Structure 1
């Protein structure tokens, strides 16, 4: 590391904040560690209330001009940012793999292309954002989307850049300015995004990036009276603290808080497909909010399903995420690894049986795990583990399957495997979930609403729903008469 630059796999990354179009260093730093091998990636500027205040002030100062910028120009700049992402796709993929341990092949082929798509989609959606005028007793109603103001976006560590831009892109498209606070366990690609945005011509102060610990700067950001929107993806306890902080100013919130999603497998399902869907839940070492971690299998096929699952899961290759042959990488942090292991050890002590895995491996790796003989009210069934840990329970009737599926405090997603179309419609309609996948998983379209019910979140993102959140909706009602002729 030289001055404020660190080099990750040959890619230079600035470790300072990005505020008001310039790099800003803090007096103190925190160490960013790679989950691959525990090596130090860099000493990152550790934000304080001073830097957060500077960032919000910069966003506030930049807001009037950016809000007044035409839709066409804002869209042009967002497309230019997407161009920049695509030009640096390999750099972004390599850095993020080192920083959060997800598979390099996934970053190259799926995640980073999606980052560029996030900007392109919302740029294009902005240009078509409209609502048909309607009449009320001869008066014309016209709906508009006004930029709200500075937005604080707080993003998680499991898919750092993709989930950050899922918020940044619509916020900028809407004409808002942004203060982005990336997770301290994976901050590096947010810094690269600031460089890319500046190179694309985004005006100074429109995007600001402040690094640091949520416990130290989170309240300063979320309680700031000049902040007009807050979007957060993360845990329920943190969301509660953010909501309390934002309450004094009645700042609108968008919250995506994870889940404990079910995968329902009926006896009439394609069993090979169902097993594939179940094993797919180990993606990103189980560090996926949407993961269907509760396998609910009809009793008559449970034995055969389990046999096939064990066979397929045993063939997964766990190791260095930079290796193309690797299927599962490491857990992001030793603290998270301890958390995952604690869940499993307590479950086994309470009577659960590990038919696959159930233990730590060398380094930050946790073996893909399947636990059976678990009670519906047990911790392992009810609480989000956020690791490669699945449970398996059986049911005998459709009614029981739905009851078990809906019996948690979460409601983010659900997956359903069945060969019966009528059953699929019937069951999907009764599941408490923001997204239901039928005989598939993780098929996402930015035109669709995304979010959760119950403790899985507040609000929806995607398509027009994102603009509804990041804007102040206005209805202008115009009378048919009272006009003077200036002809």
Structure 2
């Protein structure tokens, strides 16, 4: 099999990147495009041997990188950001072809955010400090020490942006990294390895390995030389990773699924509320933060639904490379089957499809809104991860909060109201890592990000990222405790 494939004129190496070199595997796996289902290429399929090699490379590179002054680490991260910005078009076309998200979004938002991830954590590193404090005359000094090799396992819905959300702070902290991208969208991680090497990142500091979770993933998460594991993905996989990590007490950061609510009160700006609701179809519904449960005060439910349908039916579904497209395909035929299974079971149980409720051509699923759903039903309780929303009504504020909190998840929540006092009351009662009031998907890298309940463990962002990727140390020095031997 060839070592490189060409996507939209962009050459992508299909081998692993380990210790500053391209490494092939005896076996491969097929990577296909969700746009038309066609095979893009055969990708190196790693296993325990490649996992051991990558962790060894990260372990060997760690002492020198950890000892690299902060300013030099920051300079290299900025150089990586420069490299990303020079290749935004390449990265955009490859990722759109590989995972089906909109090309216009990759060009204008996602890939610039990739560069920003590196710049932000490079700059935050230079300002990272805790003010010394006194204990009975003793000086306390807090420092952030690099932890060691980190395994970062990333999802397929926003491959490079979510990978660099982890890679950037891990490298800034002085750690070395083994990145394992999702097998359904591995290609831009390979390009990142090229960009990092060109920026001067030393060999072994960033390693990229590809393959299946049950093969190379298990070998990575159970490895005794790994000091941190960060994972974004499903709850069942997270439980498996946690069990693997437990033998070595490897610290974990887990950003998992969501079943987030959008609460719409009668005093809300209805046009804004409808816009927020329709926005949940972004990326074909493949967004962990999406407010897939629309909760509307009963007095405005009929008007809200009418306006929602009017707006949703104007969305254009099609080839994500077309600038006019609003909704692209779902990532894989297996995911499409999963989405349709949820919808058909809900319809059989008595739900009504106000819009959608069926497949389109290929790997496209019609944007769907289901009503007449029970709070304890599967479609309300389980993450679908597709363009499928449910609508329920409420009468009182207490009922709205109970419905919003009535799942096992707690990743995010969105609230539409014209009453600031209500906003304050309700947000205080919502179980969620992030709450948006009259807005959606406004994220700042200095804010803590993560979920409650089954939506995750831990928080990352700003100093919280360094708290996770470092061993925090407090040094206590006695007053006048040094003897002058001069």
Short-chain TM bin: over 0.9
Aligned to 2:154: 155
CA distance in 1, matches of 2:377, 2:122: 45
Q: Does 1:341 align with 2:319?
A: no
CA distance in 1, matches of 2:398, 2:222: 45
CA distance in 2, matches of 1:323, 1:372: 32
CA distance in 1, matches of 2:209, 2:219: 12
How far apart are 1:481 and its partner, in Å? 2.1
What is the CA deviation profile of residues 101-124 of structure 1, one whole-angstrom value per residue up to 9, with x for unaligned ones? 000000000000000000000000
CA distance in 2, matches of 1:258, 1:91: 30
Instruction: State the secondary structure of the residue aligned to 2:330.
Output: coil
CA distance in 2, matches of 1:249, 1:46: 26
Aligned to 1:232: 231
What is the CA deviation profile of residues 124-181 of structure 1, one whole-angstrom value per residue up to 9, with x for unaligned ones? 0000000000000000000000000000000000000000000000000000000000
Paired residues for 1:1-400 under 5 Å = 3-400=2-399
How far apart are 1:3 and its partner, in Å? 2.5
Instruction: State the secondary structure of the residue aligned to 1:408.
Output: coil
CA distance in 2, matches of 1:312, 1:426: 30
How far apart are 1:42 and its partner, in Å? 1.0
How far apart are 1:485 and its partner, in Å? 2.1
Instruction: State the secondary structure of the residue aligned to 1:332.
Output: coil
Paired residues for 1:468-483 under 5 Å = 468-483=467-482
CA distance in 2, matches of 1:315, 1:182: 34
Instruction: State the secondary structure of the residue aligned to 2:175.
Output: coil
CA distance in 1, matches of 2:173, 2:273: 40
CA distance in 2, matches of 1:212, 1:399: 47
Aligned to 2:462: 463
What is the CA deviation profile of residues 228-267 of structure 1, one whole-angstrom value per residue up to 9, with x for unaligned ones? 0000000000000000000000000000002000000000
Paired residues for 1:430-445 under 5 Å = 430-445=429-444
Q: Which aligned segments of 4 or more residues in structure 1 are displaced greater than 3 angstroms?
A: none
Structure 1 spans left out of the alignment, 5+ residues: none
CA distance in 1, matches of 2:215, 2:365: 30
Aligned to 1:425: 424
How far apart are 1:219 and its partner, in Å? 1.2
What is the CA deviation profile of residues 314-352 of structure 1, one whole-angstrom value per residue up to 9, with x for unaligned ones? 000000000000000000000000000000000000000
What is the CA deviation profile of residues 32-73 of structure 1, one whole-angstrom value per residue up to 9, with x for unaligned ones? 000001111110000011001000000000000000000000
CA distance in 2, matches of 1:252, 1:220: 16
CA distance in 1, matches of 2:204, 2:173: 16
What is the CA deviation profile of residues 278-331 of structure 1, one whole-angstrom value per residue up to 9, with x for unaligned ones? 000000000000000000000000000000000000000000000000000000
Task: Give TM-score, length-normalised by structure 2.
Answer: 1.00
CA distance in 1, matches of 2:313, 2:355: 8
CA distance in 2, matches of 1:195, 1:483: 50
What is the CA deviation profile of residues 433-480 of structure 1, one whole-angstrom value per residue up to 9, with x for unaligned ones? 000000000000001000000000000010000000000000000000
CA distance in 2, matches of 1:482, 1:52: 47
What is the CA deviation profile of residues 88-111 of structure 1, one whole-angstrom value per residue up to 9, with x for unaligned ones? 000000000000000000000000
CA distance in 2, matches of 1:356, 1:464: 43
What is the CA deviation profile of residues 411-444 of structure 1, one whole-angstrom value per residue up to 9, with x for unaligned ones? 0000000000000010000000000000000000
CA distance in 2, matches of 1:48, 1:420: 55
CA distance in 2, matches of 1:165, 1:446: 12
Task: Give TM-score, length-normalised by structure 1.
Answer: 0.99
Structure 2 spans left out of the alignment, 5+ residues: none
Q: What number of residue pairs does the alignment pair up?
A: 486
Instruction: State the secondary structure of the residue aligned to 1:180.
Output: strand
How far apart are 1:486 and its partner, in Å? 4.6
Instruction: State the secondary structure of the residue aligned to 1:92.
Output: helix
Instruction: State the secondary structure of the residue aligned to 1:392.
Output: strand
Instruction: State the secondary structure of the residue aligned to 2:183.
Output: coil
Instruction: State the secondary structure of the residue aligned to 1:465.
Output: helix
Instruction: State the secondary structure of the residue aligned to 1:450.
Output: coil
Instruction: State the secondary structure of the residue aligned to 2:409.
Output: coil
CA distance in 2, matches of 1:110, 1:179: 26
